[in-house]
Amino acid sequence: MNGDQVSEANSRSERVSRETSEDWRRAALIKALPAMDADTPLAAQLAEDSRRRITLRGRQFERPATTRILTVANQKGGVGKTTTTVNLAAGLAQGGLNVLVIDNDPQGNASTALGIDHRSGTPSVYDVLVEDADMASTVQVCPDIPNLWCVPATIDLSGAEIELVSLVSRETRLRRALDTYLAQRVERGEPRIDYVLVDCPPSLGLLTVNAFVTGREVLIPIQCEYYALEGLSQLLKTIQMIQAHLNPELHVSTILLTMFDGRTNLAQQVAAEVREHFGEQTLRTAIPRSVRVSEAPSHGQTVLTYDPNSTGALAYLEAANELSQRHADRDAAAHARDGGAAEQERQDDHHQHEQRTIDEEQR
């Protein structure tokens, strides 16, 4: 082991030691919180917010082994797609990860929430899709979070559905542009993007198809109301069709419950039904209804920078942590499976070699 390797090992050991010490401190603070029951909902919410604040503030999230590309989709409007996209992106970035948001919705609300300029004529996702522009020329950095970038959407994108119809490889244009951009970053020696979140319009047209072909995973926000469940079957059929014909990698990896109001029986019933049918994909964290979450975009901010101590901000931060941790756990499990398979193959080769040696000696 050379000097650089020794230094790296020592640095890793010190980091693990600091993280362990910090985890003990957080656990002690959480244990000191007073116990609350459902009879005092306000106090219980305050205690939950305190737990999240202690657990998450300053925590470095798990970095995925490769870039994760998630399409945030639901053809029903008003379920919190854009809100979820920008706030999860901000949460992941605050956790130390490098995040890119692609605003693929002509309304451009994700661009607004991230404080990104998206006036008509600004280099945008329209230029990437229709004009074959290099994605690097359209990327802007979020003014509030330095490791969060955005490809904005302008009003020009509203006509892209019609213009894309006559173009070659119309369904794969966004994917090719993104893959090229990610490869260019590596070639230039820039930090690797850990997460790409693609925001979609509330429809199943060519813009959404491009987003589905671009993504390897789908994140579905589901509003905790009855109508939110009605369109889910159609969305899942569309995803299956994209899998079969355009993107075999695509799968629903994450479902996030939004606008959850624990005081109503309906919200509880919808949440229970979603968890029953999609237990593995549904995050434990549910995003509550929050005035602060609604106010933040009008200030050109995500709720995590607008009011970081609010219930909504802490819920999105916890959801971002859970998302990154789930991915890290899956990577670790896959690595363990690959390692076990490799070890089994090595043992089989060894046994075969021994058997050949025995056979030769007998002959």
Q: What is the pLDDT of residues 134-168, one digit of tens each?
A: 999 999 999 999 899 999 999 999 999 899 998 88
Residue 270 covered by a domain: yes
> CA dist 224 to 96, 229, 238, 260, 290, Å?
30, 9, 22, 6, 14
Residue 70 covered by a domain: yes
Residue 233: give the domain boundaries.
63-324
Q: pLDDT tens, 297-332?
A: 999 999 999 999 999 999 999 999 999 998 776 666
Residue 288 covered by a domain: yes
Degrees to nearest 5, angle at CA 55 with 53 and 61: 110
Residue type, position 35, single letter: A
Rounded CA-CA distance 75/259 in Å is 17
Residue 18 covered by a domain: no
CATH number at residue 196: 3.40.50.300
Q: What is the pTM of this model?
A: 0.81
Q: Provide the pLDDT confidence category of residue 75 given band limits of 50, 70 and 90.
A: confident
* pLDDT at residue 144, as a whole number: 92
Rounded CA-CA distance 82/91 in Å is 14
* pLDDT at residue 233, as a whole number: 83
Residue 11 covered by a domain: no
Mean pLDDT along residues 44-66: 77
* Count of structural domains within the chain: 1
What is residue 183's three-state secondary structure? helix
Mean pLDDT along residues 280-304: 93
Q: Which two tokens stand for residue 42?
A: 């306000």
Rounded CA-CA distance 251/253 in Å is 6
Residue 356 covered by a domain: no
Q: Is the pLDDT of residue 355 over 80?
A: no
Q: Provide the pLDDT confidence category of residue 240 given band limits of 50, 70 and 90.
A: very high
Q: pLDDT tens, 195-233?
A: 999 999 988 889 999 999 999 999 999 998 877 777 788
Buried b (16+ CB within 10 A) or exposed e, 175-208: bebbeebbeebeeeeeeebbbbbbbbbbebebbb
Instruction: Kindly report the number of other CB atoms within 10 A of residue 264's CB atom.
Output: 12
Residue 343 covered by a domain: no
Residue 157 covered by a domain: yes
DSSP H or E segment with residue 223: strand 217-223
